[in-house]
Structure formats: structure tokens, C-alpha cells
Amino acid sequence: MKQYLYIMSNKKNWPLWEIFVRSKNGLEHRHFGSLHAADAEMALENARDVYTRRNEGVSIWVVESKNITASNPENNGEMFEPAHDKVYRHPTFYDLPDEVKHM
Amino acid sequence: MSEEQIRSLENQFEARIARDEKIEPKDWMPEKYRKTHIRQMSQHAHSEVVGMLPEGNWITRAPSLRRKVALLAKVQDEAGHGLYLYSACETLGISRDELYDQLHSGKAKYSSIFNYPTVTWADMGAIGWLVDGAAIINQVPLCNTSYGPYARAMIRVCKEESFHQRQGYEIMIKLANGTPEQKELAQDALNRWWWPSLMMLGPTDAESIHTEQSMKWKLKRKSNDDLRQQFIDQTVPQAELIGLTIPDPDLKWNEEKGCYDFGEINWDEFWQVVKGHGPCNKERMKARVGAWEEGEWVRDAAMAHAEKKQERKQKQAV
Amino acid sequence: MKNENLYNYILGIADNSLILGQRMGELCGHGPSLETDIACTNISLDLFGQVRSYFQYASKIAGDNRSEDDIAMLRKEREYKNVLLVEQPNTDFAYTMARQFLFDVYHLAFLSELQKSTDLTLSAIANKCIKEVSYHERFSSDWVKRLGDGTEESKAKMQDAINYLWTYTDELFHQTEADKIMVSEGAGVDVTKLKEAYYKNVGDLLEVATLEIPESKYFQKGGKEGIHTEHLGYLLSDLQYMQRTYPNMEW
């Protein structure tokens, strides 16, 4: 499959960071978007100003985008389809007498 | 890959979109889809960033502190929206620097409306009310577009933009209900921004080249002419409500069609501005290129500092 | 006016935020990167928010129907009481960040004292502002470090900015008549007591930033008495333009 490669110029541009924000305690960090920053501290500061201007967060994680390893959608068949038919992992697979209302 | 295989992939791809499935960055996509998206999203991002300039022009002169903070927050949002959209573009394998290069070299387009000057304070009202009004009509349907990162960016943009149009309309209300001098400012701004706002929704359907393909990919949900009609129908009553007159002698309610008829748009002016000869094209580019070039030593310094810090950390670890 | 000292005292504090906010606002749309642009605008927004709290209070104290905007925009040049430091122009990003840093270190120390004011409104405002200003100080210190310890070019530019602005730092610690009275009443901050820690903190950070601490002992003053540098007049003509051109209107 064709990959889009890029020739980077010699100029060192601020790398890309992925931003994860916890909107309030009790919730998980969620991917909010990305931005550019020279280092992790700056990424945190920028994330605060870019993604939490309207009170959207109580905690921020920043990860440099190049450090994220992603699954390849080409392998989605072998990665995810085997889970489709494992219905016994779900409670509805099991029969209960009607008398038992909650389990 | 053989042509047949590609065609089959393309068919599957189109079927996914037709089923309202979202396309994500690493999914296979036709080259044309990728290119069209980069073009549209970056154009959109450039418009946000260039769009900061005409309004930024009045930040230091806003007439009250309340207006000043609202305007600052609005222009800041535009920077944020530019950023979200550039980020969405970057998921397709093009860097922000390359996108800037396209903008600065004049290769990329941005919305022509920002090539008109903001000559009075009332223009802040007119831009918020009309330009943001027209933009919203364009943007809301994009929250549902087929490319995941674009749709997500647009959801954020639309949510944040909800105060922008109100901010502008409120400025207009104040002016229209103010002294005769203020009302005149408001009417004058409406006169100058009305036609460019109509043009902003794009050339007539007959002249629009990308529409059909864009409709299929949900990059566009309605035709330019439909959007324009929608904009006019919603804006005319808002003008009437505050006692301002739309500068179009041919504007008339058409009972039969249930919408407004309106006068001829000056498309020569539209194309002149698109081709770079509007009142402020050169200033806008100069300001953007200037900010980028003057910022280069700052960006370089931050990188150099980050590298030094990294080195020191590694040395300490040894 | 019943409490003219308090009124003047509030103006002395608020004008610093007003003028610095205006300077930072000028940059909106022209920053070195989108991210930095957004951050600088945030600082400007914080400062204007503070200004509004102070002037709303001042307007109540004045009790003569002048609004926050009248106080902010309709005084004459000599009636603005900000320090000279904050009115210095955005010569380049190094000047902007150096100016911010040299003010933030002072501002933070000042607010933490103002929190203890016997004037409950002032202490409440200080309490709210201090969180914003702590962040400003972190942001500007980081940039002083980045530019100081970045490239040769950035170091030269940051050193130049620090040297140029240094002359305006001493004024931060001058006491005005209103200051003295307010301090004696327990409502005001004795700025003379902030000086030593200020130069220590600033010096420490400059050292980390590999910059030299200027040795000059010649300082400029006058802002607190309304005698400004030539830069302020132009800033005010922008700030006041609408109110002066269209007097007595609502916006």
C-alpha cells in the first residue's frame, strides 16, 4: 500500500504533539487534538491555552506524535474480527430463569 | 496494484462513505480524496488565520473594555480554529510548514472576504453578524463530513463559534439603536459587507467546479446557491428587526417560492479579489509572511533550547 | 471624592494591567507561531479582566457616575499612573517576553501581599488575579530561558531586551503618596519591601537563562507620577480613539 512519505527540509520545525485532556476527575483522559511545541513543557503550556480555554480540563497529557505506535487498518481483519464471534464474553450469552431479575 | 484492484478499493471506499462510515487517517483512500481534503481543510485553516487580521486591526481601538475582551477572545478563537484545521490536515501527511509555504507563496487560497478593509468599528459588528453568519451556514453541515479528523475539528469549531455571530449582531444592535451617527456607522458597514458576504458562499452552481465530487464525500452538503439563499432568508429579517436596510433594491419576498429574490451579484469583483487584486490582498499576505519570518529566530531558539535540555538530561542519566 | 487615596491607589495598580494588556493585545495575529499567539492573547485577556475588576471598584469609590470605560479611556496622558516598564513597545519577541517577565515577577509578589489587604475588595481581586499571574510568570520565565539559552542570535536579542528594560525596573519599588497612606492603613502593599526578593528572583532566573545581570545603576522613573515615555501617547490614542471621536455614546 502506498505510504505518503515526506522529505523533511533541514529546518528544524517544532514537532507535533498529541494532546489528551481529562475534563473532570473521574473521567479518563481523552484525545483532544494536536499542536506544535518545541518541548514537552511548551506542549503542556500550549495545550492549556489551546484546548482548555473554556474550562475543558483538569489534567493534560502530552505525547510527541512520533512516539505513538498505531495499528494498521490493513490488519483490521486479524486484529479485530476474531473478537466478533466471542459472544460468550457478553452477559446476554447466558440464559437465566425469568425469576432472577438482576444479575 | 492493478487498475482493477484500485477500482475495487475505490468502490468499497465510496460505499463506506455512502453508509455514513467515517474515514480515518490511516485508512486507504483515493489520492484525489486526500488531495481534495488537504486543499479544502487548508483553505479553511488559512481563512481562519488570515481572518484574524481585519478584526485584529480593531483590538487596540475597541470602544469599551467589554467589547475589547470579546473581540480579543473571538480573534483568539480564530487562531485556535486555524490550529485545529491545520492539525486535521497534518493527519493526511502534510506539515503545517508546508501549508504555510503554500499560503505565503500565494499558491493556496483563503476566503476572499478577508481582503476587504475594516475601516470603522461597525465593521466588527458586520463581520461577526454577516461573515460569521455565512461561515456557520457553511460549517455546520461539515460536522458530519466523511473525514473523521475534519468532522471532529468542525464540531469543536462550531461549538466555539456559537458566540461569534452573537457578538457581532450585538454590536450592530447597539449601533442601530444608538445615536444617528452610530446608526449611520452600522448602515454603512452593512452596505459595504453585504455583497462580499453573499460572494463568500462561492460562485454560482453553474460555475462551481468541485461541487459534485464534494457532495459525494460530504465535503459539501448543499450547493452554493442554496446556501446563499438560506443566508439571505435568515439575515434579512435580522436586519429589519434592528431597522437597517439591505443594500439591494431588487430584494423582495417571493410569496410563491417562499424565499427572497435578490439582485445581481457583481462576479467580476469576486474574481478580481480571488485573483489577488482586492483592496487588501497584498497587506494581508505581507502581515502573515512578516509574522512568520520575524518569528523564525524565536522558533529556532526554542528548538535549540529544547535540544540542549534533552542533551543535559541524557548526560545526567549516564 | 470621599476616598481619593483609595481611588488613586486602585488606578496605580490597574493602569499597569491596562497598558500591558493593550501592548499584548497589539500582538494578536502576529505571533511567532499560532500556539504562541493564542498564549499571548490569553495573557492580554487575563490583564483586561483584572482591569475591569479594579475599575469597576474605582468607579464605585469615585461615585461620580464615571463608568469603568470612562476611567480606562477618558483620562489625560498625565493621569495614567502605570510604571514606564509596561508601556515599552513590542520591539521584538524578546522585548515582549522580557517586559512580561520583569513585570510578572513583581506583579506576583505584589499580589501575594495585596491578598492580605484590609480592603476586602482589593484582597478578593488579588486572590483571583494571583492564579492568572502565577501562570504568566511561568510562561514568561520559560521564554526568557528559551531565548537566553537558545541560539546565539536569540541570546543576543534577549540580553539586549533585558539591558534595555532594566532601567525601568527600579520604579516598580517607588512609593507614591497614595501608597504611603494606604500602607499605613493596612490596605496597601509596601512595595519597597518587595525589592530585594525581586532582584534575587530575577537574577536567579537570568543566570539559569545564561544571561548577564545588567550592572547599570541608572534608572528611569516617572510613570507613577504620570510622566511617561513618549511611547504612551500613541498607545493612548489607539485606546481612546473611539471614546474621543464619538463622545458620550454607548457601545
Q: Which residues of A touch B303 (CB under 8 A)?
A: 12-14, 38
User: How many Cα atoms sit within 13 Å of A42 on the Cβ side?
Assistant: 29
Quote the minimal CA–CA distance from B309 to chain C in Å.
10
Residue B210 has pLDDT above 80, yes or no: no
Residue A5 has pLDDT above 50, yes or no: no
Number of residues assigned to chain C: 251
* Interval B202-210 mean pLDDT: 81
Residue A7 has pLDDT above 60, yes or no: no
What's the confidence (pLDDT) of residue A75?
A: 86
Residue written as grid cell 503550556: A45
Within the 19-58 window of chain A, which residues sit less than 8 Å (CB to CB) from chain B? 33-36, 38-39, 42, 50, 53-54
Residue C82 lies in a domain: yes
Element holding A33 (H helix, E strand): strand A29-36
pLDDT in tens, A29-70: 999 999 999 999 999 999 999 999 999 999 999 999 999 999
Residue A9 has pLDDT above 60, yes or no: no
**How many domains are contained in chain A?**
1
In percent, the amount of chain B with pLDDT more than 70 equals: 100
Residue A47 lies in a domain: yes
Residue C197 lies in a domain: yes
What's the confidence (pLDDT) of residue A10?
A: 53
Residue C143 lies in a domain: yes
Phi, psi of A20, rounded to the nearest 5 degrees: -120, 130
Residue A91 lies in a domain: no
Q: Do C42 and A36 touch (CB under 8 A)?
A: no
Tell me the three state secondary structure of residue C158.
Answer: helix
Residue A101 has pLDDT above 90, yes or no: no
In angstroms, what CA-CA distances link A37 with A47, B225, C130?
Answer: 9, 41, 26
Residue C250 lies in a domain: no
Burial of B233 (0-12, 13-18, 19+ CB in 10 A): middle
What's the confidence (pLDDT) of residue A85?
A: 86
Query: How many Å apart are CA C157 and CA C178, to the nearest integer?
Result: 37
Residue C251 lies in a domain: no
Across the interface, of C33, C38, C142, the residue whose CB is closest to A14 is C33
Query: How many Å apart are CA C180 and CA C187, to the nearest integer?
Result: 10
Q: What's the helix, strand, coil split of chain C in %, to 5?
A: 70, 0, 30
* Interval B176-184 mean pLDDT: 98
pLDDT in tens, B50-106: 999 999 999 999 999 999 999 999 999 999 999 999 999 999 999 999 999 999 999
User: How does B174-196 read in b/e, with b if 16+ C-beta sit within 10 Å?
Assistant: bbbebeeebbebbbbbbebbbbb
Element holding A35 (H helix, E strand): strand A29-36
The set of residues, in sequence order, having a beta carbon less than 8 Å from that of C51 and lying 6+ positions away, is B65, C14, C17, C18, C21, C68, C72
What's the confidence (pLDDT) of residue A8?
A: 43
B35: which 3 cell numbers? 488531495
Residue A12 lies in a domain: yes
Tell me the three state secondary structure of residue B203.
Answer: coil
Residue A18 lies in a domain: yes
B87 touches chain A (CB under 8 A): yes
What's the confidence (pLDDT) of residue A92?
A: 85
Tell me the three state secondary structure of residue B94.
Answer: coil
Residue written as grid cell 490569553: C42
Q: Pairing state of beta strands A16-22 and B259-261?
A: unpaired
What pTM value is reported for the model? 0.94
Which structural domain, as residue segments, surrounds residue A62? 2-68
Write B230-233 long-range contacts (CB < 8 A, 24+): B230/B137, B231/B133, B231/B134, B231/B137, B231/B197, B231/B198, B231/B201, B232/B198, B232/B259, B232/B260, B232/B262, B233/B259, B233/B260
Q: Dihedral sign, CA of A37, A38, A41, A45?
A: negative
Q: Do C239 and B61 touch (CB under 8 A)?
A: yes
User: How big is chain A by its Cα radius of gyration, in Å?
Assistant: 21
Which structural domain, as residue segments, surrounds residue C174? 4-245
CATH of the domain at A31: 3.10.20.520
Within the 192-251 window of chain B, which residues sit less than 8 Å (CB to CB) from chain C? none
- Smallest CA-to-CA distance from B150 within B19, B52, B40, B46 is with B40
What's the confidence (pLDDT) of residue A1?
A: 36
Q: Dihedral sign, CA of A73, A77, A82, A87?
A: positive
Between helices B296-317 and B281-294, what is the axis angle to 10°? 30
Residue A80 lies in a domain: no
Residue A51 lies in a domain: yes
Residue A34 lies in a domain: yes
Residue B221 has pLDDT above 90, yes or no: no
B90 touches chain A (CB under 8 A): yes
Inter-chain CB pairs, A–C, below 8 Å: 28
Q: Do B65 and C69 touch (CB under 8 A)?
A: yes
pLDDT in tens, B120-142: 999 999 999 999 999 999 999 99
CA angle C4, C7, C10 (to 5 degrees): 150
The set of residues, in sequence order, having a beta carbon less than 8 Å from that of B273 and lying 6+ positions away, is B112, B115, B116, B196, B281
Residue A72 has pLDDT above 70, yes or no: yes
Element holding B253 (H helix, E strand): strand B252-254
Q: What is the ipTM of this complex?
A: 0.97
Residue A10 lies in a domain: yes
CA angle C97, C102, C105 (to 5 degrees): 115
Tell me the three state secondary structure of residue B33.
Answer: helix
**How many domains are contained in chain C?**
1
pLDDT in tens, B4-54: 988 999 999 999 999 999 999 999 999 999 999 999 999 999 999 999 999
CATH of the domain at C241: 1.20.1260.10
A27: which 3 cell numbers? 473521567
pLDDT confidence bin for A3, thresholds 50/70/90: very low
Q: Of A29-38, B172-181, B200-209, give the lowest mean pLDDT range.
A: B200-209
B96: which 3 cell numbers? 503545517
- Smallest CA-to-CA distance from B100 within B46, B148, B140 is with B46
Query: How many Å apart are CA C62 and CA C69, to the nearest integer?
Result: 13
Residue C196 lies in a domain: yes
User: How does C135-171 read in b/e, with b if 16+ C-beta sit within 10 Å?
Assistant: bbbebbbbbbbbbbbbbebbbebbbebbbbbbbbbbb
Low-confidence ranges of chain C (pLDDT < 50): none
